[in-house]
Amino acid sequence: MRLVVVSNRVSAPNREGKAGVGGLAVALRAALRERGGVWFGWSGRVSEAPAELPHIVQRGRVGYAVVDITPLDRDEYYLGFANRALWPNMHYRLGLTQFSRAEFAGYMRVNRRFAAALAAIIEPDDLIWVHDYHLIPFAAELRRLGIQNRIGYFHHIPWPPIDVFGALPGAGDLLTALAAYDLVGVHTERDAGNLARSFAEPVGGMPVPAAPRIIALPIGIDTAAFRAAAQHADANSVVQRMISGLGDRPLVIGVDRLDYSKGIVERLEAFERFLVANPDRRGNVTLLQIAPPSRSEVPEYEQVGRQTDETLGRINSSLGDTGWMPIRFVKRSYTRPVLAGLFRNAAVGLVTPMRDGMNLVAKEYVAAQRPDDPGVLVLSRFAGAAEQMREALIVNPFDKFEVAEAIGTALAMPKDERIARWRVLYEGLCRHDIGWWTQSFLDALTASAPLAALPRFS
């Protein structure tokens, strides 16, 4: 069976063979590299009159099939409903949720258009695997067009409890749409439970269809490849320069897209608390925060950018010294090998999102460590990864005192305890890597029962 992967953005390699970065892109590329297939989605370009049929480029065993969208589509579907309503709601941030009927209509419209474009190139035996919150209505739209293939969906972000999800206008329509999938995957048991319960009671007075099959399947990373990259990174000149610039000071590292869900401002404040509570540590520890800008046209992201700048300036100017800055903050991205090398040289990995579907950085940090002298992972209990990675130091990111204490505990942890914790975490990452995740989802999808009834919309 041919695998057809569908995601909002398609990350096709450019002429030099280099492709986009980011967790989902890396994961999907790995899945397709092994099996071959088609990757369909938005090209990332906007044009006034996009072609209806996808533009296809073949690279080895993978065909990249992309479509453009209009500027209005981008505003309503991508910058609007997906990232100003769905994203905050699903990260439990009701106060940040901005709903507009026009944007919701735009979201549904783009899904319909995408479905029509894919329907033109689909073959009867194709196995269709749709990814993430931009595309919840995609299968329902394919079904309207008479497509009867197996269609699976993976939801990469959290699924909140019904009291939160039910507050989202359009929630009932989204559940109806979701029921058109043969299988729906989420990262954690908690999300699977929340999702199943969403189908158990009426939302906004609207009857909800029967739930689709739901599985909790935590995404993994390409553990062996990331570890190898970290091993080779010792020779990388960018890594060498950055590490030698720190002197002998232990490094605490954070790497996140600049997103309010990642808890970057709260993390800076926790580090400040740590320095205030431990004056002897001042001058001899550095927090390096890498935060590539993300969705910067969305106002709530602009705001988190301003908040981080203010907090950073305040902490560095009040606690820093002529020869030492407590926090180095860089708003840009680095290559994966450089990240791997920085992780390897960091005594503490600080992964403290306020809410996160999984969080691949936590896994990459562990994979990059030296087995005989590993660093310590400090992990938010609200990251999906905390369900698996119990040997990390688990913290509540809303409590900066607790995070500050965990930083101290991590920096002082004896080597044998660090090794013992790391081993268990690393073995888990080897067992449940990206290959395991892909295979498990596709096995479950091919084993699932065919769809019984077509979904109806209100």
Q: Which residues are catalytic?
A: 156, 356
Least spacing, CB of residue 132 vs ligand GDG, in Å: 7
- Binding range to ligand GDG, per CB under 6 A, among 19-27, 72-80, 137-145, 166-174: 19-27
Among 231, 335, 396, 448, binds ligand GDG (CB under 6 A): 335
Query: From residue 135 to residue 174, what is the string marking binding to ligand GDG with x (rule CB under 6 A)?
Result: ---------------------xx-----------------
Nearer to ligand GDG among residue 126 and residue 256 (C-beta) = 256
Nearer to ligand GDG among residue 117 and residue 379 (C-beta) = 379
User: Is residue 409 a contact point for ligand GDG (CB under 6 A)?
Assistant: no
- Binding range to ligand GDG, per CB under 6 A, among 15-23, 111-119, 205-213, 278-286: 15-23
Nearer to ligand GDG among residue 238 and residue 276 (C-beta) = 238
For residue 265, which of 296, 300, 310, 319 has the smallest C-alpha distance? 310
Q: Contact at 8 Å (CB) between 47 and 74? A: no
* Burial (CB count within 10 angstroms: exposed 0-12, middle 13-18, buried 19+), residue 371: exposed
Distance CA 115, CA 34 (A): 25
Would strands 348-351 and 251-255 be described as parallel, antiparallel, or unpaired?
A: parallel
User: Is residue 382 a contact point for ligand GDG (CB under 6 A)?
Assistant: no
User: Is residue 134 a contact point for ligand GDG (CB under 6 A)?
Assistant: no
Would strands 62-69 and 55-59 be described as parallel, antiparallel, or unpaired?
A: antiparallel
Nearer to ligand GDG among residue 360 and residue 389 (C-beta) = 360
Least spacing, CB of residue 141 vs ligand GDG, in Å: 23
Give SS3 for 287: strand
Q: How crowded is residue 238: how many other Cβ atoms within 10 Å of its Cβ?
A: 14
Nearer to ligand GDG among residue 113 and residue 257 (C-beta) = 257
Would strands 151-154 and 3-9 be described as parallel, antiparallel, or unpaired?
A: unpaired
Q: Contact at 8 Å (CB) between 412 and 281? A: no
Give SS3 for 279: helix
- Binding range to ligand GDG, per CB under 6 A, among 76-84, 327-335, 374-382, 387-395: 327-335
Among 333, 396, 409, 448, binds ligand GDG (CB under 6 A): 333
Tell me how many residues contact ligand GDG (CB under 6 A). 24
Distance CA 278, CA 323 (A): 19
Among 50, 63, 357, 375, binds ligand GDG (CB under 6 A): 357
- Tokens (6 digits) for 113: 């258009």
Nearer to ligand GDG among residue 361 and residue 429 (C-beta) = 361
Among 140, 255, 327, 395, binds ligand GDG (CB under 6 A): 255
List, in sequence order, every residue forming a beta bridge with 5; answer none if it has no partner. 39, 129
- Cα dist from 100 to 95, 180, 215, 281, whole Å: 15, 25, 31, 49
User: Is residue 98 a contact point for ligand GDG (CB under 6 A)?
Assistant: no
Q: Contact at 8 Å (CB) between 273 and 323? A: no
User: Is residue 62 a contact point for ligand GDG (CB under 6 A)?
Assistant: no
Residues 6+ away with beta carbon under 8 Å from 253: 287, 288, 289, 290, 342, 343, 346, 348, 349, 350, 365
Least spacing, CB of residue 1 vs ligand GDG, in Å: 23
Q: How crowded is residue 103: how many other Cβ atoms within 10 Å of its Cβ?
A: 22
Distance CA 431, CA 270 (A): 33
Q: Contact at 8 Å (CB) between 333 and 358? A: no
Q: Which residue has the tokens 């950055």?
A: 242
Least spacing, CB of residue 120 vs ligand GDG, in Å: 29
User: Is residue 336 a contact point for ligand GDG (CB under 6 A)?
Assistant: yes
User: Is residue 358 a contact point for ligand GDG (CB under 6 A)?
Assistant: yes
Nearer to ligand GDG among residue 285 and residue 361 (C-beta) = 361
Among 19, 21, 246, 444, binds ligand GDG (CB under 6 A): 21
Distance CA 5, CA 130 (A): 6
Nearer to ligand GDG among residue 335 and residue 409 (C-beta) = 335
Among 193, 204, 283, 292, binds ligand GDG (CB under 6 A): 292
Among 174, 219, 275, 429, binds ligand GDG (CB under 6 A): 219
User: Is residue 361 a contact point for ligand GDG (CB under 6 A)?
Assistant: yes
Distance CA 104, CA 69 (A): 16
Chain residues binding ligand GDG by CB under 6 A are 21-24, 26, 156-157, 219, 255, 257, 290, 292, 333-336, 339, 356-361, 364
